[in-house]
Structure 1
Amino acid sequence: MTAPKSLPVLDLRRFAPDHAERAEALAELRDVSRTVGFFYLAGHGIPQDEIDALTALARRFFSLPEKDKLEIEMRKSPHFRGYNRAGFEYTRGTQDWREQVDFGPERGKLDLLPDDAPWRRLIGPNQFPPALPELREPVLKWIADVTAVGIKVLQAFSEALGQKPDVFEPIYRNGPNQLLKIVRYPGRDQTDSDQGVGAHKDGGFVTILLQDVVGGLQVDDGEGGWIDAPPVRGTFVVNIGELLELASNGYLKANIHRVVTPAAGGDRLSIPFFLGANLAASIPVLDLPPDLASEVRGVTQDPLNPLFREVGRNVLKSRLRSHPDVAHEHHSDLLEEQAREKASA
């Protein structure tokens, strides 16, 4: 199949059990899943007023003095929550030029034992800015609302694969892995490169991205080029994560994408949400119907970024690589262990 040169628009309402176009919608979802792996999602049900309010709060946060943003610097959190200045996150070892604040489910820090799985260190509370206390409740509401959308999308993918809609429910029901990023990309005059975010795949089930008004997201077209995905008001951009590629043995495609730095004098705001399985879960391989199983391609293997079916192991690996300052501050023992394993390999 040849990837389209622009992303299709799918309407979530068409996947409802009683919708007259449901079969056609599932066929369209299968098609986009086999090619570009990205689409615009309309009909998601989140009011535009809620969207506008969150983006306005995001702008207010990034307008705070740096000292107020650094009150919740991610380096202070062993759970990788909080604010990062531009250039402090890395993709494949290269700096990403975006400032951002990361939030997850609001949970208590665990009392860890020496033999506990290392990924349990990821569980804990968020950091919210004292200088903008009104950010807390909208962020937690957004996580809940967009999680509900993500589960509906996941159910549609399940049915498109010939499965029951709740086939993945056992591995997310006890608390899915949720990550919300509120991101600002400064213009090219304020960065050292055009890399807003380097080329990568996402690691969860699905990503649900809210864009403001400035573009920059580009999706690999599979032919050596890139498909631009400019903002479309009232929609999200949805893409497949590596967990779905693993579960479908490569039938679904977690595609490469990047963000290009905005032009000088401007900036770009985006709010991506990543929905994954419970950190304690392992990803099964689905038993696909024969007509789909015959089209399985196998999971893409990247020697620089090995995939594990253990969800927590995958997530921790990603966070340690992306945020070396947090890793050195709180998890130096894990880095030393990784170095020993690499040396003995």
Structure 2
Amino acid sequence: MLHSTQEFLSGNAIPGASSALPVLDLSLMDGTAVEQQAFIQQLRLAARDVGFFYLTGHGQTIQKQQQILALARQFFALPLADKQQVQMIHSPHFRGYTGLGGELTRGQPDIREQFDMMREEAVPAQTDISPAWQGLIGPNQWPTALPQMKTELLDWQQSLSDITVKLMRALMLALEQPADALDATIKAGPYQHMKLIRYPGVDAKASSSKQGVGAHKDPGYLTLVVQDDQSGLEVETEQGWVAVAPLPGAFVVNIGELLELASNGYLKATLHRVVSPNSGIERYSCAFFMAAQLDATVPLLQLPSHLADEAKGPASDPNNPLFYQVGQNVLKGRLRSHRDVAAAHYAELAKAV
């Protein structure tokens, strides 16, 4: 089912959702030429005007999504000692468990606990760890108390990666580029980063902050989010902050800064945040971030003139410059977000960010 971005921008409700994000059906890309073109046109509008949308028809069942969220609940319900066994401070690759307030967004602590994982890889030979971003390459940490986590999450991460590659190629067609226009940047496999997240309830009267996650843009190509039935994710629009209500079975998708950069601002990376649930309520989600491989340099796409004329140029944050070189960009973000890991494993670099 397709809905116009005007429905979002005017605040009109979409059937089946209490939020007004566009709803796009990825299965249309496997349909007739007319269906494919309808999807590509809708994708272009959603990615240009909003930067956020719901994605259905992606091939992942509600049951599988619920299974992943149930695994997240199991992990966060473990005794603290079991979670600290895989605490991120032990990993120079920024993998593992982070407790409440352990990650910063724009310098402020987020009220969430999370488990981070990336592609399962061997550590490069010691002589090869240059430039510094190669320190991101390595194995994940896995809790011994939940041995099933490794297989289930690695399989899930790969399935989400495949969806984002298909979606990115559709975005290239929407920009009137060859579908494989950015394939050279993921030829060895896209950069993968996934989080299981728990947001505890916060008593607004007792706390000065309800920052589940502070306002930010995602740095990669594309993000997919599975939400439970609790609201909290919000998107900034010209009309103010809009709630992204859970839509059963749908992923929430947003455009990352690398696509904004590659399209000279035609595609929109949008500020978003998570507001903590009220006291007595917990919120769980799984977020997957796909970017170019770490050794890639993202190109500036040459858009046709009628699209180039609409490109606004990438938004620039002077306090958080974005680099075309992917590994440098990713490492900078991790150093800023996880100051304890940065100090433990990247002491000199940490001083510069």
Range into which the TM-score falls when normalised by the shorter chain: over 0.9
Contact 2:82 2:143 in 1 (8 A): yes
Deviation at 1:31, TM superposition (A): 1.2
Alpha-carbon distance in 2 for matches of 1:304, 1:38: 24
1:151-198: CA deviation from partner (whole Å, max 9, x where unpaired): 111011110000111111111121211000000000013965100000
Unpaired runs of 5+ in structure 1?
Answer: 340-345
Residue 238 of structure 2 is aligned to residue 222 of structure 1 = yes
Aligned residue for 1:30, secondary structure, equals helix
Contact 1:36 1:220 in 2 (8 A): no
Q: Which amino acid aligns with 2:260?
A: E
- The corresponding residue for 1:327 is 342
Q: Which amino acid aligns with 2:177?
A: Q
Contact 1:220 1:227 in 2 (8 A): yes
1:60-95: CA deviation from partner (whole Å, max 9, x where unpaired): 111111111110000000000000001000000001
Counterpart mapping for 1:266-305 below 5 A: 266-305=281-320
- The corresponding residue for 1:202 is 218
The sequence identity of aligned pairs, in percent, is: 47
Contact 1:16 1:22 in 2 (8 A): yes
- The corresponding residue for 2:251 is 236
Deviation at 1:319, TM superposition (A): 0.1
Aligned residue for 2:332, secondary structure, equals helix
- The corresponding residue for 2:15 is none
Deviation at 1:289, TM superposition (A): 1.2
Structure 1 runs, 4 residues or longer, greater than 6 Å off: none
Alpha-carbon distance in 2 for matches of 1:112, 1:207: 32
- Which has the larger displacement, 193-202 or 50-59? 50-59
Contact 1:4 1:221 in 2 (8 A): no
Aligned residue for 1:113, secondary structure, equals helix
Contact 2:339 2:350 in 1 (8 A): no
Deviation at 1:33, TM superposition (A): 1.6
Aligned residue for 1:133, secondary structure, equals coil
- The corresponding residue for 2:16 is none
Residue 29 of structure 2 is aligned to residue 15 of structure 1 = yes
162, 172, 182: which is aligned to 1:148? Answer: 162
Q: Which amino acid aligns with 1:265?
A: G
53, 65, 74: which is aligned to 2:88? Answer: 74
169, 177, 185: which is aligned to 1:171? Answer: 185
Alpha-carbon distance in 1 for matches of 2:114, 2:10: 31
Aligned residue for 1:138, secondary structure, equals helix
Contact 2:194 2:289 in 1 (8 A): yes
Deviation at 1:16, TM superposition (A): 3.0
Q: Which amino acid aligns with 2:263?
A: S
Task: Give the paired residue count.
Answer: 337
Alpha-carbon distance in 1 for matches of 2:207, 2:95: 24
Deviation at 1:19, TM superposition (A): 4.4
Deviation at 1:322, TM superposition (A): 0.2
- The corresponding residue for 2:176 is 162
Counterpart mapping for 1:39-54 below 5 A: 39-54=53-68
Deviation at 1:28, TM superposition (A): 1.3
Counterpart mapping for 1:65-214 below 5 A: 65-113=79-127, 116-189=130-203, 193-214=209-230
1:19-59: CA deviation from partner (whole Å, max 9, x where unpaired): 43222221111111222110000000012232122111111
Structure 2 CA distance for partners of 1:241 and 1:81, relative to 1, 3 Å: same
Structure 2 CA distance for partners of 1:191 and 1:184, relative to 1, 3 Å: farther
Normalising by structure 1, we get a TM-score of 0.94
Alpha-carbon distance in 2 for matches of 1:146, 1:335: 31
Deviation at 1:214, TM superposition (A): 0.6
Residue 72 of structure 2 is aligned to residue 27 of structure 1 = no
Alpha-carbon distance in 1 for matches of 2:292, 2:207: 35
Alpha-carbon distance in 2 for matches of 1:331, 1:41: 38
Residue 82 of structure 2 is aligned to residue 63 of structure 1 = no
- The corresponding residue for 1:264 is 279
Structure 2 CA distance for partners of 1:4 and 1:252, relative to 1, 3 Å: farther
Deviation at 1:331, TM superposition (A): 0.6
Normalising by structure 2, we get a TM-score of 0.92
Aligned residue for 2:148, secondary structure, equals helix
Unpaired runs of 5+ in structure 2?
Answer: 12-19
Deviation at 1:264, TM superposition (A): 0.7
- The corresponding residue for 1:343 is none
Alpha-carbon distance in 2 for matches of 1:48, 1:271: 13
Alpha-carbon distance in 2 for matches of 1:211, 1:318: 24
Contact 1:181 1:273 in 2 (8 A): yes
The Cα RMSD (Å) is 1.6
